[in-house]
Amino acid sequence: MIELKSISKSFTGKHAVKNLNLTIPDGKIFGFLGPNGAGKSTTIKMMTGILPIDEGSITINGVDITDYPMEAKHLFGYVPDRSDIFLRLKGIEYLNFIADVFQVSIEERKEKIEYLTKSFGIYEALDDHIQTYSHGMRQKIVVSGVLLHDPDVWILDEPLSGLDPKSSHTLKEMMREHADRGKIVFFSTHVLEVVEQLCDEVAIINHGHVQFQGNMTEMKQQFQDDDNLERLFLELTENE
Protein backbone atom coordinates (compact mmCIF):
# COMPACT_ATOMS: atom_id res chain seq x y z
CA MET A 1 0.00 0.00 0.00
CA ILE A 2 1.17 3.53 -0.80
CA GLU A 3 0.00 6.37 1.37
CA LEU A 4 0.36 10.05 0.58
CA LYS A 5 -0.61 12.12 3.61
CA SER A 6 -1.40 15.78 2.95
CA ILE A 7 1.65 16.45 0.84
CA SER A 8 2.47 19.85 -0.58
CA LYS A 9 5.12 21.12 -2.93
CA SER A 10 5.71 24.58 -4.28
CA PHE A 11 8.16 25.95 -6.82
CA THR A 12 9.29 29.50 -6.12
CA GLY A 13 6.13 30.35 -4.22
CA LYS A 14 3.72 28.68 -6.67
CA HIS A 15 1.97 25.55 -5.44
CA ALA A 16 2.29 22.58 -7.77
CA VAL A 17 0.78 20.13 -5.28
CA LYS A 18 -1.29 21.25 -2.34
CA ASN A 19 -2.45 19.18 0.59
CA LEU A 20 -2.86 16.04 -1.46
CA ASN A 21 -4.08 12.80 0.12
CA LEU A 22 -4.05 9.51 -1.70
CA THR A 23 -4.15 5.85 -0.73
CA ILE A 24 -3.17 3.25 -3.26
CA PRO A 25 -4.24 -0.26 -2.27
CA ASP A 26 -2.43 -3.52 -3.08
CA GLY A 27 -3.43 -5.68 -6.00
CA LYS A 28 -4.75 -2.83 -8.11
CA ILE A 29 -3.84 -1.01 -11.26
CA PHE A 30 -4.19 2.58 -10.24
CA GLY A 31 -4.58 5.29 -12.87
CA PHE A 32 -3.49 8.82 -12.14
CA LEU A 33 -5.16 11.40 -14.36
CA GLY A 34 -5.25 15.13 -14.76
CA PRO A 35 -4.68 17.91 -17.27
CA ASN A 36 -1.19 19.07 -18.24
CA GLY A 37 0.50 20.83 -15.37
CA ALA A 38 -1.93 19.36 -12.81
CA GLY A 39 0.92 18.09 -10.65
CA LYS A 40 1.06 14.42 -11.61
CA SER A 41 4.77 14.25 -12.34
CA THR A 42 5.53 16.39 -9.32
CA THR A 43 3.61 14.00 -7.07
CA ILE A 44 5.33 11.00 -8.61
CA LYS A 45 8.74 12.62 -8.17
CA MET A 46 8.01 13.10 -4.49
CA MET A 47 6.92 9.46 -4.20
CA THR A 48 10.20 8.33 -5.74
CA GLY A 49 12.45 10.55 -3.66
CA ILE A 50 13.55 12.77 -6.54
CA LEU A 51 11.93 15.88 -5.13
CA PRO A 52 12.03 16.67 -1.42
CA ILE A 53 8.54 16.91 0.09
CA ASP A 54 7.69 20.38 1.46
CA GLU A 55 4.97 19.15 3.81
CA GLY A 56 3.33 15.82 4.56
CA SER A 57 4.68 12.30 4.26
CA ILE A 58 4.70 9.38 1.87
CA THR A 59 5.02 5.73 2.83
CA ILE A 60 5.52 2.86 0.43
CA ASN A 61 4.47 -0.49 1.90
CA GLY A 62 4.84 1.16 5.28
CA VAL A 63 8.34 2.57 4.65
CA ASP A 64 8.66 6.35 4.78
CA ILE A 65 10.46 7.67 1.69
CA THR A 66 11.99 10.64 3.53
CA ASP A 67 13.10 8.81 6.66
CA TYR A 68 14.24 5.54 5.09
CA PRO A 69 15.02 6.41 1.50
CA MET A 70 17.27 3.42 0.79
CA GLU A 71 14.78 0.85 2.06
CA ALA A 72 11.87 2.53 0.29
CA LYS A 73 13.72 2.80 -3.00
CA HIS A 74 14.39 -0.92 -2.99
CA LEU A 75 10.63 -1.49 -3.04
CA PHE A 76 9.69 0.28 -6.23
CA GLY A 77 10.72 0.69 -9.84
CA TYR A 78 10.17 4.01 -11.57
CA VAL A 79 9.72 4.93 -15.22
CA PRO A 80 10.23 8.70 -15.55
CA ASP A 81 8.21 10.96 -17.83
CA ARG A 82 11.27 11.79 -19.93
CA SER A 83 13.83 9.20 -20.80
CA ASP A 84 16.91 11.27 -19.92
CA ILE A 85 18.98 8.29 -18.93
CA PHE A 86 22.70 7.85 -19.42
CA LEU A 87 22.73 8.21 -23.18
CA ARG A 88 26.39 7.38 -23.62
CA LEU A 89 25.94 3.90 -22.21
CA LYS A 90 24.98 0.94 -24.33
CA GLY A 91 21.64 -0.68 -23.68
CA ILE A 92 23.24 -3.72 -22.13
CA GLU A 93 25.51 -1.58 -19.95
CA TYR A 94 22.53 0.33 -18.65
CA LEU A 95 20.64 -2.84 -17.75
CA ASN A 96 23.74 -4.25 -16.10
CA PHE A 97 24.11 -1.07 -14.09
CA ILE A 98 20.53 -1.24 -12.87
CA ALA A 99 20.96 -4.91 -12.01
CA ASP A 100 24.09 -4.05 -10.03
CA VAL A 101 22.20 -1.39 -8.11
CA PHE A 102 19.48 -3.86 -7.17
CA GLN A 103 21.88 -6.77 -6.73
CA VAL A 104 20.16 -9.03 -9.18
CA SER A 105 21.85 -12.43 -9.41
CA ILE A 106 23.71 -13.30 -12.57
CA GLU A 107 21.38 -16.10 -13.68
CA GLU A 108 18.32 -13.98 -13.12
CA ARG A 109 19.68 -11.04 -15.03
CA LYS A 110 20.65 -13.16 -18.02
CA GLU A 111 17.22 -14.71 -18.18
CA LYS A 112 15.27 -11.49 -17.54
CA ILE A 113 17.31 -9.32 -19.88
CA GLU A 114 16.79 -11.75 -22.70
CA TYR A 115 13.09 -12.24 -21.96
CA LEU A 116 12.24 -8.56 -21.51
CA THR A 117 14.24 -7.10 -24.36
CA LYS A 118 13.02 -9.81 -26.70
CA SER A 119 9.40 -9.16 -25.82
CA PHE A 120 9.92 -5.45 -26.43
CA GLY A 121 11.89 -6.06 -29.62
CA ILE A 122 15.08 -4.28 -28.55
CA TYR A 123 17.26 -7.34 -27.99
CA GLU A 124 19.28 -6.73 -31.14
CA ALA A 125 19.92 -3.13 -30.14
CA LEU A 126 21.42 -3.98 -26.77
CA ASP A 127 24.98 -3.45 -27.98
CA ASP A 128 24.24 0.05 -29.33
CA HIS A 129 24.55 3.31 -27.47
CA ILE A 130 21.25 4.48 -26.02
CA GLN A 131 21.89 7.76 -27.81
CA THR A 132 21.13 6.05 -31.11
CA TYR A 133 17.79 4.71 -29.85
CA SER A 134 14.48 6.14 -30.95
CA HIS A 135 12.14 7.67 -28.38
CA GLY A 136 10.14 4.48 -28.03
CA MET A 137 13.27 2.33 -27.77
CA ARG A 138 14.56 4.50 -24.93
CA GLN A 139 11.23 4.13 -23.19
CA LYS A 140 11.49 0.36 -23.62
CA ILE A 141 15.00 0.11 -22.19
CA VAL A 142 13.89 2.07 -19.14
CA VAL A 143 10.86 -0.14 -18.67
CA SER A 144 13.06 -3.23 -19.05
CA GLY A 145 15.37 -1.81 -16.39
CA VAL A 146 12.46 -1.47 -13.99
CA LEU A 147 11.06 -4.92 -14.60
CA LEU A 148 14.53 -6.44 -14.42
CA HIS A 149 14.73 -6.21 -10.65
CA ASP A 150 11.13 -7.23 -10.09
CA PRO A 151 10.03 -4.55 -7.61
CA ASP A 152 6.80 -4.89 -5.64
CA VAL A 153 5.60 -1.45 -6.60
CA TRP A 154 5.62 -0.08 -10.10
CA ILE A 155 5.48 3.70 -10.44
CA LEU A 156 5.16 4.67 -14.07
CA ASP A 157 4.87 8.21 -15.44
CA GLU A 158 3.19 7.97 -18.84
CA PRO A 159 4.77 4.59 -19.56
CA LEU A 160 2.88 3.93 -22.77
CA SER A 161 3.77 7.13 -24.57
CA GLY A 162 5.80 6.37 -27.65
CA LEU A 163 5.39 2.60 -27.51
CA ASP A 164 4.21 0.79 -30.61
CA PRO A 165 0.90 -1.13 -30.37
CA LYS A 166 2.54 -4.50 -29.80
CA SER A 167 4.86 -3.34 -27.03
CA SER A 168 2.07 -1.31 -25.51
CA HIS A 169 -0.04 -4.44 -25.42
CA THR A 170 2.81 -6.44 -23.87
CA LEU A 171 3.37 -3.86 -21.16
CA LYS A 172 -0.34 -3.66 -20.36
CA GLU A 173 -0.46 -7.43 -19.97
CA MET A 174 2.54 -7.31 -17.67
CA MET A 175 0.84 -4.62 -15.59
CA ARG A 176 -2.26 -6.78 -15.28
CA GLU A 177 -0.27 -9.83 -14.21
CA HIS A 178 1.64 -7.82 -11.63
CA ALA A 179 -1.52 -6.44 -10.06
CA ASP A 180 -3.12 -9.87 -10.09
CA ARG A 181 -0.23 -11.13 -7.98
CA GLY A 182 -1.34 -8.66 -5.32
CA LYS A 183 1.24 -5.99 -6.14
CA ILE A 184 0.81 -2.31 -6.99
CA VAL A 185 0.88 -0.67 -10.40
CA PHE A 186 0.58 3.08 -10.21
CA PHE A 187 0.71 5.00 -13.46
CA SER A 188 -0.17 8.33 -14.96
CA THR A 189 -1.63 8.69 -18.43
CA HIS A 190 -3.62 10.91 -20.71
CA VAL A 191 -5.17 8.11 -22.71
CA LEU A 192 -8.68 7.55 -21.39
CA GLU A 193 -9.26 4.37 -23.35
CA VAL A 194 -6.35 2.79 -21.51
CA VAL A 195 -7.84 3.87 -18.22
CA GLU A 196 -11.21 2.41 -19.05
CA GLN A 197 -9.73 -0.83 -20.29
CA LEU A 198 -7.04 -1.32 -17.66
CA CYS A 199 -7.56 0.50 -14.38
CA ASP A 200 -9.16 -0.87 -11.25
CA GLU A 201 -9.03 2.49 -9.57
CA VAL A 202 -8.39 6.04 -10.60
CA ALA A 203 -7.59 9.40 -9.09
CA ILE A 204 -8.12 12.60 -11.01
CA ILE A 205 -6.16 15.64 -9.92
CA ASN A 206 -6.24 19.24 -10.98
CA HIS A 207 -4.28 22.22 -9.70
CA GLY A 208 -2.50 19.96 -7.24
CA HIS A 209 -5.71 18.71 -5.56
CA VAL A 210 -7.36 15.32 -5.78
CA GLN A 211 -10.63 15.99 -7.55
CA PHE A 212 -11.87 12.44 -7.40
CA GLN A 213 -10.74 9.01 -6.22
CA GLY A 214 -12.54 5.72 -6.58
CA ASN A 215 -13.11 2.73 -8.81
CA MET A 216 -14.74 2.91 -12.19
CA THR A 217 -18.25 1.95 -11.09
CA GLU A 218 -18.23 4.46 -8.26
CA MET A 219 -17.15 7.08 -10.69
CA LYS A 220 -19.95 6.34 -13.10
CA GLN A 221 -22.49 6.33 -10.30
CA GLN A 222 -21.38 9.69 -9.03
CA PHE A 223 -21.74 11.28 -12.42
CA GLN A 224 -24.79 9.57 -13.79
CA ASP A 225 -25.38 11.73 -16.82
CA ASP A 226 -21.92 11.10 -18.17
CA ASP A 227 -22.04 8.11 -20.41
CA ASN A 228 -18.39 8.17 -21.28
CA LEU A 229 -15.15 8.77 -19.47
CA GLU A 230 -14.07 11.61 -21.65
CA ARG A 231 -17.04 13.76 -20.80
CA LEU A 232 -16.65 12.85 -17.17
CA PHE A 233 -13.01 13.81 -17.20
CA LEU A 234 -13.76 17.12 -18.89
CA GLU A 235 -16.45 17.90 -16.35
CA LEU A 236 -14.24 17.06 -13.41
CA THR A 237 -11.31 19.09 -14.53
CA GLU A 238 -13.22 22.04 -15.87
CA ASN A 239 -11.41 25.17 -14.86
CA GLU A 240 -13.26 26.83 -12.09
Ligand X SMILES: Nc1ncnc2c1ncn2[C@@H]1O[C@H](COP(=O)(O)OP(=O)(O)OP(=O)(O)O)[C@@H](O)[C@H]1O
* Cβ nearer to Mg ion, comparing 35 with 151: 35
Q: Residue 144 in contact with residue 113, Cβ under 8 Å? A: yes
**Where in 13-72 is the site for Mg ion (CB under 5 A)?**
41
78 is a contact residue toward other proteins (CB under 8 A): yes
* Cβ nearer to other proteins, comparing 82 with 181: 82
36 binds, among ligand X, Mg ion, other proteins, none (CB under 5 to 8 A by kind): ligand X
Q: Residue 144 in contact with residue 173, Cβ under 8 Å? A: no
Q: Where does the chain show beta strands of DSSP type E?
A: 2-11, 14-24, 29-33, 55-60, 63-64, 76-79, 153-157, 184-188, 201-206, 209-215
* Cβ nearer to other proteins, comparing 99 with 179: 99
- The residue from 101, 135, 222, 235 that contacts other proteins (CB under 8 A) is 101
What stretch of H or E contains 142? helix 135-148
- The residue from 35, 49, 136, 208 that contacts other proteins (CB under 8 A) is 49
Beta bridge partners of 23: 3
* Cβ nearer to ligand X, comparing 57 with 161: 161
CB neighbourhood size of 203 (10 A)? 25
169 is a contact residue toward other proteins (CB under 8 A): no
Length of the chain: 240
CB of 50 vs ligand X, minimal distance in Å: 11
**Where in 121-160 is the site for other proteins (CB under 8 A)?**
124-129, 131-132
81 is a contact residue toward Mg ion (CB under 5 A): yes
Written as one letter, the residue type at 8 is: S
Instruction: Write out the residues near ligand X by the rule CB under 6 A.
Output: 11, 16, 34, 36-42, 81
Q: Choose the stretch contacting other proteins; rule: CB under 8 A; options: 92-100, 175-183, 213-221, 229-237.
A: 92-100
* Cβ nearer to other proteins, comparing 127 with 227: 127
d(CA 182, CA 27): 4
Q: What is the DSSP string of 165-210?
A: HHHHHHHHHHHHHHHHTT-EEEEE-S-HHHHHHH-SEEEEEETTEE
105 is a contact residue toward other proteins (CB under 8 A): yes
86 is a contact residue toward other proteins (CB under 8 A): yes
Q: Closest Cα partner for 49 from 26, 27, 72?
A: 72
d(CA 136, CA 183): 26
d(CA 77, CA 117): 17
The contact set with other proteins (CB under 8 A) reads: 48-52, 69-71, 73-74, 78, 80, 82, 84-89, 92-93, 96-106, 109-110, 113, 124-129, 131-132
The contact set with Mg ion (CB under 5 A) reads: 41, 81
